[in-house]
A and B are shown apart, each in its own frame.
Chain A
């Protein structure tokens, strides 16, 4: 249709510029805001304790960040598809524990260290994928809402973690701790591996057909189905992916602690969801940038580590995270009301007629 022109857009833009205009344009770019927040945070913590910018603390920060980033990336796939995965925290614990049992046996049998870590990694990923597959079955076969299905696994997983361990950590693997603390410059080996993995998963979300379908399903699952996408199968695979990544995060915690602890990953699902939301993804699905999620995870890590670093009660951490989520959500609402939503709700046919008539 030849007359679909940009006149109404221009009109809309003029209207926006007249109003809250430029400030909104800056605020609308959530990642820009996050970078500013990050700089402010780092400057604040540094002003309280100059050691905050030291090679050892930066190394700590990067390692802590990589664990959260891995979990958040899986959560983001789920959220972009229009779902939610509340079970990832429990999955971290369960997979880490089961992995620890196996690794402990192998260490007792004096298997080579490298083999132990490789097998442990595979077991953790497999356990996580299994939890994800159970979520997927509940959602696609029993047609439970993702919130409910993964809440079931959150609860069951946390319970099982205690049942398996009796509440105490499993094993003590000092070589694992040493491995997780060594690396190249400020980057620990786990951090390097995870950063590479996260980069690949980010590219995959934004540039692959799989990622495209994930966005399409979250944006309009009816349209996705009508376009011939097997929505059920795709959704199922996303929960398996999220579970497997949570399992790998379980391995990450094992490396840091040298043991599989039932408390590992506790409340981690909330932090991961927070990272995704702060990063600018819509909880309704269909939109978001992986770079935003990674930035969100980094900001949250800086807050958590920084508060500990300047000796503020770690309990305040959750309050601060809450405040971040609030501001992120408020920004998103602001952006919706000023931009796409306003355009969406505008009585377009009249506007077009008016401008076409010129």
Chain B
């Protein structure tokens, strides 16, 4: 693939060990602005570990991370956020006891004007209002932002988490299983939200076990198996059958019926 553009995100030779387990070995891939990259693999393939490395939650033991061609070293998630990378973690990205508005603005609170702001007081009303606007902008509408996240349904919670990530992301957005635990209809809407994020020029990285969703929405698919990238190809080259075969490793026993482009 002779792509002359600078990738929004590039990882090179990432290695990560947990005790004696080689969780990631020499993982490299690129994601360009304006594309959705599917990251798939069986349980234990290393997808979630890779996400944690890219988002700064875990430090890699070796390897390099580039954002817009610039090399970065994360010391904390804050560093990744400042570089323009937003992450939606599987099931655990929100503080359930806080309101929708507080969650959307968590870590980036709007302060009051003047002395109170300088003393550390937040402008709660503005945050609640703007949270709703921000969510609406990315195609999500939720009732009453003053509600705590614990009071929302699973689908609504996921919507808030995605909306939060997309409305803050400047370059890259990592979505770990965003369609899990929600209804089929909400899942389709999540896919739409992802498309609109791509159209806004973000690099979207979509981790999922739901292969039909991956085949439907992604431009390219990176397949991981046992901590390695085993295939990285345009989505048009995959069928449900050979994608599954690549994930499980059956393709190495028996060549796929239609070879990837």
Contact = CB atoms under 8 A, between A and B. Distances in A.
Given A4-B156, A228-B81, A216 B139 contact: no
Nearest to B153: A348
A138 interface: no
A349 interface: yes
A226 interface: yes
Contact of B96 (A2, A3, A286): A286
Interface stretch (A24-32, A62-70, A205-213, A235-243): A205-213
Contact of B76 (A6, A207, A230, A286): A230
Nearest to B158: A1
B181 A208 contact: no
Chain A, interface size: which category? 35 or more
A4 B98 contact: no
A182 B96 CA distance: 46
Given A212-B98, A356-B185, A4 B151 contact: no
A48 interface: no
A4 B122 contact: no
Nearest to A216: B95
Nearest to B149: A219
A209 B155 contact: no
Contact of B185 (A3, A6, A209, A230): A3
B95 A209 contact: no
Between A226, A287, A340, the greatest number of chain B beta carbons within 10 A of the residue's beta carbon is seen for A226
Interface string B110-129: 01000000011110100000
Contact of B78 (A6, A228, A287): A228
Nearest to A282: B97
B93 interface: yes
Given A1-B141, A4-B141, A222-B89, A349 B183 contact: yes
Interface stretch (B19-27, B186-194, B211-219): B186-194
B106 to A, nearest CB: 4
Contacts of B102: 212, 215-216
B95 A224 contact: yes
A203 B97 CA distance: 18
A344 interface: yes
A15 interface: no
Contacts of B77: 225-228
Nearest to B139: A1
A352 B150 contact: no
Contacts of A2: 139, 141, 189
Interface string B38-82: 000000000000000001010000000000000000001110011
Contacts of A346: 153
Nearest to B95: A219
B182 interface: yes
A6 B153 CA distance: 10
Contacts of A225: 57, 76-77
B224 to A, nearest CB: 22
The 7 closest A-B pairs by CB, nearest first: A227-B107, A228-B78, A286-B97, A219-B95, A219-B97, A348-B153, A228-B107
Interface of A: 1-6, 8-9, 203-204, 207-210, 212, 215-216, 218-220, 222-230, 286-287, 340, 343-344, 346, 348-353, 356
16 contacts: A1-B140, A1-B186, A1-B190, A2-B141, A3-B186, A207-B124, A212-B122, A215-B97, A219-B98, A223-B94, A226-B55, A227-B106, A228-B78, A286-B97, A348-B153, A349-B182
